[in-house]
A and B are shown apart, each in its own frame.
Chain A
Amino acid sequence: MQLENQERPLGVLDQELTQGEEERVYESKYARIVAENQGKSSCFLSVVIATEGKHPERLQDTLLCLQGQADQDFEIILVIFRGQGGNDQVIRQMISTQGEAFQKKIRIAEGKAGSRGAAMNLGMAMARGDYVAFLTEDDLLFDHWVQSFHEGVENHEGMILRSYTLAQEWSKIESKTDWPGSTTVSGPDASACVPFETMGEGAECRCIGAGIAFPMDLFRDRHFLMNEGIGSEAEVEYLIRGRSVAGIYETTRTVGIRRSWQGEAKVTERHTEEKASLPEGESRSLLQKIGSRLRGMMRGNK
């Protein structure tokens, strides 16, 4: 007996989705790029940083944290999307001042993605690593961030990897130059540094960002794409879908800090009216919305 769509487990929905719209988008937009990058020198982790380039000073902090990684088995794909007013040139100039060995890890793609979701998909298409993690210029990483994933993949290959990240409020400090300063406003919030299963409903909404590394198989083999028409929900959706087929392994290590900025919306909020980190009630409505959208995709509606 064929079940109604909303009764099917998510894994089954994913199988049917790949036969439809998502597969068409993958083939038309990304398959060629994936093929171009196959056979190139590979690494463990591809770090995709999708940025509008508005805050090079914050991006510099993130890049410095990547330079400081004890495990250097990674590459960086910097996707500048919606580049405005020369932001892309500012970013390129900043990259050109980095150390020579570190610059060689960075590839830049610009002007080809109109949304954060599209930027993340482009980053995945260009990726040469076994795993992918998505950062923003709000992320600060401890020196064992890559290492925690790399060690976690042993005996858990193919699973989504999750480490803990703290949250912390920062403040921009105006300066006389075009390079603002910054400082912390308060101590770190460790409320998300708990096992996934104990977080209850809406856990996915609180776990996106630097604490998650996805196996590239989800993109390359299953053709799972980030939804390009929405904002931060795209990552939540991706985690929900990926989790249903790959499962999650928790390293239980605390590996970094995601900054929020006094007086500013979170970078992952700027392109959507929904919020990525929500109290439980709002998480439920977001998950319902995502579930409804996934079912709608299956019926051929966006």
Chain B
Amino acid sequence: MSQQVSVQIQAVLYQNDKIELTRALDAAKAAAKVAWEKGIQVSLLWGDASPEGIYSEEEWGQIQRKYAAFQKIEYRWFGENTGYGKGNNLLGLNATTDYLLVMNPEILLSPRTIVDLLAPFADPQVGLVEARQIPVEHPKGFDLQTKETEWASGACFMIPTALYQELEGFDTETFFMYCEDVDFSWRVRLAGKKLYYQTQAGVFHARRLSDTGEYKPSLTEAKYALLTELLLSYKWGYPEFAQKQLQMALDRGDFGSQEAAEEFARREAEGRLPKMQDPEHKIAKITQNERHGGVYFTTQRYIL
């Protein structure tokens, strides 16, 4: 790793609690200090997609003074609800740093996260490095020897800025929320790069499990998940699967299934379905558990 490597930490805010954001800033600052000792320059850029800006100019001025450890710390209110993908594109497509650390705003980095996420890029074939989430680790599979994984969660990952810009960031025409990280991961792989799951880099993501050990998606996730899974399936060469998923959801009366069906049909009629990628399925592997209907984009070590 050469000296003076630069990283932009970026996140899209949406009506986040300021106390949570302060904790995230504290953690990011600690990580930036460890990185700085290794010759890594870290800047932070937050985009706010909230209806009204979370921070006033005065408040952000105080934050800039308090977190002066960053090379640069900047806040932009978008003035629109951009969603995750578009918001990150607004932050990342004009970035000038060597790397982007894309994360959810409430994620807490450990002091070593930046350094540990950068390390795998010593291999030029690595295109994206994903952090390990705690307390609930994602159960998707990865190769224990090579650490390669088939897709990376958008909760926290690092990517060379040049690659992000070459791919033109997230597909915001197709996805507003959820599955854009899967789509982006597969596009990184389609570009000939590997995804690396960095088991050393733990980050805190406030998720909980139930008293039966299961993960219960929020209503928002449930509402958007079906449509985005349909679009993802269609885009990555599984059109029949998409139709089958939709019919199963309608038959079960799944929450949001009617809206998803109508939106999918509307896009189809208007010619706005995404262009199909990877028709030979060299990258995308989509399966569904027949028993409980869960859709998976990689092997799962276990079910949550």
Contact = CB atoms under 8 A, between A and B. Distances in A.
A98 B27 CA distance: 7
A50 interface: no
A250 to B, nearest CB: 11
B135 A140 contact: yes
Contacts of A190: 210-213
Contacts of B119: 177
Interface in B208-226: 208-213
B211 A254 contact: yes
Given A98-B111, A142-B135, A256-B135, A181 B199 contact: yes
B210 A99 contact: no
B285 interface: no
B213 A187 contact: yes
B212 A187 contact: no
A183 interface: yes
B168 to A, nearest CB: 32
Contacts of A144: 208
Given A98-B30, A186-B302, A190-B213, A254 B200 contact: no
B108 interface: yes
Interface residues of A, number: 42
A99 B144 contact: no
Contact of B30 (A99, A180, A186): A99
B273 interface: no
Interface in B85-144: 108, 110-112, 116, 119, 132, 134-137, 139, 142, 144
A43 B281 CA distance: 57
22 contacts: A60-B112, A64-B108, A68-B204, A68-B206, A99-B27, A140-B135, A141-B135, A142-B135, A142-B208, A144-B208, A179-B116, A181-B198, A181-B200, A182-B202, A184-B302, A186-B301, A187-B213, A187-B304, A188-B213, A254-B208, A254-B210, A256-B135
Interface of B: 20, 23, 26-27, 29-30, 33-34, 108, 110-112, 116, 119, 132, 134-137, 139, 142, 144, 198-200, 202-204, 206-213, 301-304
Given A97-B30, A177-B200, A183-B137, 7 more contacts: A64-B110, A99-B29, A100-B26, A102-B26, A142-B135, A187-B303, A193-B212
